[in-house]
Amino acid sequence: MTIVTLTTDFGVSDGYVGAMKGVILGLAPSATIVDISHDVTRQDVRHGVRVLAASTPFFPSGTIHVAVVDPGVGTSRRGIGLRTSCATFVGPDNGLFTPFLQERVACVALTNPAMHRHPVSNTFHGRDVFAPVAAHLVNGLSLADLGPPVEDPIRLPEPQPERLADGRLRAEVVYVDRFGNLITNLRPIEWGIDDTRGIRVVLRGASLAVQRTYADGAPGQLLALVGSDGCLEIAVREGSAAERLGLGVGARLIVQGV
Amino acid sequence: MTIVTLTTDFGVSDGYVGAMKGVILGLAPSATIVDISHDVTRQDVRHGVRVLAASTPFFPSGTIHVAVVDPGVGTSRRGIGLRTSCATFVGPDNGLFTPFLQERVACVALTNPAMHRHPVSNTFHGRDVFAPVAAHLVNGLSLADLGPPVEDPIRLPEPQPERLADGRLRAEVVYVDRFGNLITNLRPIEWGIDDTRGIRVVLRGASLAVQRTYADGAPGQLLALVGSDGCLEIAVREGSAAERLGLGVGARLIVQGV
Amino acid sequence: MTIVTLTTDFGVSDGYVGAMKGVILGLAPSATIVDISHDVTRQDVRHGVRVLAASTPFFPSGTIHVAVVDPGVGTSRRGIGLRTSCATFVGPDNGLFTPFLQERVACVALTNPAMHRHPVSNTFHGRDVFAPVAAHLVNGLSLADLGPPVEDPIRLPEPQPERLADGRLRAEVVYVDRFGNLITNLRPIEWGIDDTRGIRVVLRGASLAVQRTYADGAPGQLLALVGSDGCLEIAVREGSAAERLGLGVGARLIVQGV
């Protein structure tokens, strides 16, 4: 049994995801298909990155992750197969797999037409390239069968927190989840901060202590906490911090006491 | 093959559901994961109760149902494992499993850390507690392995219809489905009513006969009928009764001729 | 292993889809359930037709497709089981399976009560008729066990492109996908057009060349292309052609140079 996960920006109202599932099961009946998400914001590669980073590390070794957020479909952008020590990723070479590039063991361009479904449409490589490639991997073909090595897969910039001259840290909001939580790029543990009780987050003139969980605030209260991915985030209990503060991706905040 | 169903208020746009699936399959590769819903209204435990009540009774004996609608995550609220004669439920002890408590055979608190994923985050017990617990159950561990018995799991009030002095029944809307149907707590069969043709529903000055199905009304017409869960409901053919009447959960209506 | 796909207009916020899955797995534990879509527009049979046409042809032979977009549930409309050379379809006889009728090998009415779940509600045949019928098919029962033959399953009109007196073609928008792409009924290959570079699409005073893919336009640019289903469509790169043009299903356009 090999697991094939699917992550797309297709939604499920058009049957496109169903077509991909059919192609995979038609070629590899033993595949176990698992939906991660089809609600990635349309053509928002960074959103796709977040969804993959939040979910794929928890799957068993050997899982094949197919991801399609692909504004460049049909152009000269490559398709790639990327193998790390734990998983294989299949999709467009547009930065969607940025968090996994560092641990890569192999990466190939998906140029072998024998691995594709024909005719290959110009607009739907999810069905015609990525799904059949994943199925062939389930059936035991190797990365080398898919096409030649790629040395320079595309990597999106990943903004890092910065230590300011006064010793404080400047972090940046890198994601807003559907609850309106503002998730930053600051992972306290990576800065040697085991105990977050001594630190404070400064933004918009407010100074917030770091709480343990959402329910530590009063309903409607703005609070800071370390989220389930280990990153500092700003939340409003039973509300949306993004709406309350009018902030989004790229907003900066200062962390002191670190 | 053991089925593990998932019901959450996470949506699928953030990868949280994918993380839970990965954890389950990582620990219990033989699990068959079935999505019930990830569209429960955020933090609406009563909505979660409805979704579980409408779906879980139809699954085969031995199914494990993981449900996460969990506004109190990270606080002192307990996690529980609840066994009935047909199924096992895993999730927060906040009333989410109210309809199944009466048939319970066993109930335990999920306090054994050996059954969890570490570190356990304060904000995502779906991934770190409930998913691994479900996987361990798939693998054959018993409820007793999860933690000590719980005698008093939390139960939400379940309003019952009332017989008025004049013999009529007063029912209450307990749920509005996504079609805008107003679903009441009156199950005619439980009041000895086999044939609903003789009864009428009075609300907002209207008196409605009970129809067999939605299509028995003219398009746009308000009608009463017995829904698929056996409860009396108010609907509008090709429309929303909730919008038409401006009514929602808690609204009362009178049933006569019973 | 037999695949059972599900396509409905139920959404997933009410537990109705979960109930269907439970019924299928309760009767046929070996079934592999695959979600195609539960986001068909409510009671929009034509939308259901599109989703099925876009996805079911890609599934392996022997797949059972259960589809429920069923405004006539509980009335005298029949339920049907339809077999083609590659697949079996189960659902209401209301035109939902129009594209597959031509290739039918057998079609029966679902009248045998022994194949249903009892009591059969008047409002939820997805759970009480279609799901158990699909499960019995998984278990090896034949179409003939479900009920008597149907000779005249309902077929929706399928508008065809027309050749005008001046030699140009008149096509019609038959679907708007969730990206706002206007998909027409003109499949160039069926009109002997292998190379679409010579043709132009005229609508709203504009004359559009046919591009290879969405990214061939500038952001915001209106363009024509042949979509993944082989049909001519009108799109806006990173936008919605439906919104831009204020057009929808039924809109006509002229194709010249064919």
Contact indicator for A139, A23 with CB cutoff of 8 Å: no
- Which value, to the nearest 10 degrees, does the dihedral of the CA atoms of residues A220, A221, A226, A227 take? 0
Per residue in A98-132, pLDDT (tens digit) is 999 999 999 999 999 999 999 999 999 999 999 99
Contact indicator for A191, A252 with CB cutoff of 8 Å: no
Contact indicator for A133, A90 with CB cutoff of 8 Å: yes
Tell me whether residues C22 and B57 touch, CB distance under 8 A.
yes
Per residue in C105-160, pLDDT (tens digit) is 999 999 999 999 999 999 999 999 999 999 999 999 999 999 999 999 999 999 99
Gap from C14 CA to chain B (nearest CA, Å): 5
Whether the bond between C159 and the residue before it is cis, its omega within 30 degrees of 0, is no
Show which residues on chain B lie within 8 Å of chain C, measured between beta carbons: 1, 3, 5, 7, 32, 34-41, 47, 50-60, 63, 177-179, 212-216, 225-228, 238
Confidence band, pLDDT 50/70/90 cuts, at residue B1: confident
pTM: 0.94
Whether the bond between A113 and the residue before it is cis, its omega within 30 degrees of 0, is no
Tell me whether residues B73 and A227 touch, CB distance under 8 A.
no
As a whole number, mean pLDDT of residues C66-87 equals: 95
Per residue in A39-81, pLDDT (tens digit) is 999 899 999 999 999 999 999 999 999 999 999 998 899 999 9
Tell me whether residues A214 and B123 touch, CB distance under 8 A.
yes
Rounded Cα distance, C173 and C113, in Å: 41
Question: Which chain B residue is nearest to residue C120, measuring alpha carbons?
Answer: B228
Look at C7 and C74; give whichever has higher pLDDT.
C7
In this structure, of A207-216, B57-66, C115-124, the range with the lowest mean pLDDT score is A207-216
As a whole number, mean pLDDT of residues B54-61 equals: 97
In this structure, of A171-180, A210-219, C175-184, the range with the lowest mean pLDDT score is A210-219
In this model, does residue B178 exceed pLDDT 90?
no
Confidence band, pLDDT 50/70/90 cuts, at residue B187: very high
Question: Which chain B residue is nearest to residue A227, measuring alpha carbons?
Answer: B123
Helix (H, G, I), strand (E, B) or coil at C112: coil
Per residue in B209-239, pLDDT (tens digit) is 999 888 888 888 999 999 999 999 999 988 8
Confidence band, pLDDT 50/70/90 cuts, at residue C83: very high
Rounded Cα distance, A23 and A134, in Å: 10
Look-up of token digits 């179409």: C143
If you write DSSP's letter for every residue of chain A in order, what string do you get? Answer: -EEEEEEES--SSSSHHHHHHHHHHHH-TTEEEEEEES-SPTT-HHHHHHHHHHHGGGSPTTEEEEEE--TTTTSSPPEEEEEESSEEEEEESSSTTHHHHTTEEEEEE---GGGS-SSPPSS-HIIIIIHHHHHHHHTT--GGGT--B-S----------EE-TTS-EEEEEEEE-TT--EEES--GGGGT-S-GGG-EEEETTEEEEEESSGGGSPTT-EEEEE-TTS-EEEEETTB-HHHHHT--TT-EEEEE--
Tell me whether residues A71 and C215 touch, CB distance under 8 A.
yes
If you write DSSP's letter for every residue of B8-55 in order, what string do you get? Answer: ES--SSSSHHHHHHHHHHHH-TTEEEEEEES-SPTT-HHHHHHHHHHH
Look at A221 and B134; give whichever has higher pLDDT.
B134
Per residue in B67-96, pLDDT (tens digit) is 999 999 988 999 999 999 999 999 999 999
Contact indicator for C7, C52 with CB cutoff of 8 Å: yes
Rounded Cα distance, A150 and B126, in Å: 38
Backbone dihedral region for residue B167 (phi beyond 0: left; psi -120 to 50: alpha; all else: beta)? left
| Tokens standing for residue A212 | 């343990």
What's residue B192's pLDDT?
Answer: 87
What's residue A200's pLDDT?
Answer: 92
| Tokens standing for residue A237 | 């209990």
Q: Where are the alpha helices (DSSP H) in C34-186?
A: 45-55, 98-101, 125, 131-138
| Tokens standing for residue A103 | 């641990």
Q: Which of C140, C110, C131 is nearest to C24 (CA)?
A: C131
Rounded Cα distance, B94 and B46, in Å: 10
Question: Which chain A residue is nearest to residue C240, measuring alpha carbons?
Answer: A42
Tell me whether residues A51 and B15 touch, CB distance under 8 A.
yes
Show which residues on chain A lie within 8 Å of chain B, measured between beta carbons: 1, 3, 5, 7, 32, 34-41, 47, 50-60, 63, 177-179, 212-216, 225-228, 238
Tell me whether residues A19 and C213 touch, CB distance under 8 A.
no
In this model, does residue C53 exceed pLDDT 80?
yes
Q: Which of B60, B82, B52, B102 is nearest to B229 (CA)?
A: B52
Show which residues on chain B lie within 8 Å of chain A, measured between beta carbons: 11-23, 25-26, 29, 33, 35, 42-43, 71-75, 121-124, 127-128
Look at A89 and A178; give whichever has higher pLDDT.
A89
- Which residues, other chains included, contact C43 with Cβ-Cβ below 8 Å and sequence gap of 6+? B238, C9, C69, C70, C71
Confidence band, pLDDT 50/70/90 cuts, at residue B16: very high
Q: Which chains touch C (3 or more CB pairs under 8 A)?
A: A, B
Tell me whether residues C12 and B228 touch, CB distance under 8 A.
no
Tell me whether residues A73 and C38 touch, CB distance under 8 A.
no
Element (H, E) at C244: helix C241-245
Type of residue numbered B182: L
Question: Which chain B residue is nearest to residue A235, measuring alpha carbons?
Answer: B123
Contact indicator for C255, C234 with CB cutoff of 8 Å: no
| Tokens standing for residue B47 | 């909505």
Q: Which chains touch A (3 or more CB pairs under 8 A)?
A: B, C
Question: Which chain C residue is nearest to residue A41, measuring alpha carbons?
Answer: C179
Query: Which residues in C lie closer than 8 A to residue A44 (C-beta atoms)?
Result: none
Show which residues on chain A lie within 8 Å of chain C, measured between beta carbons: 11-23, 25-26, 29, 33, 35, 42-43, 71-75, 121-124, 127-128
Per residue in B140-165, pLDDT (tens digit) is 999 999 999 999 999 999 999 999 99
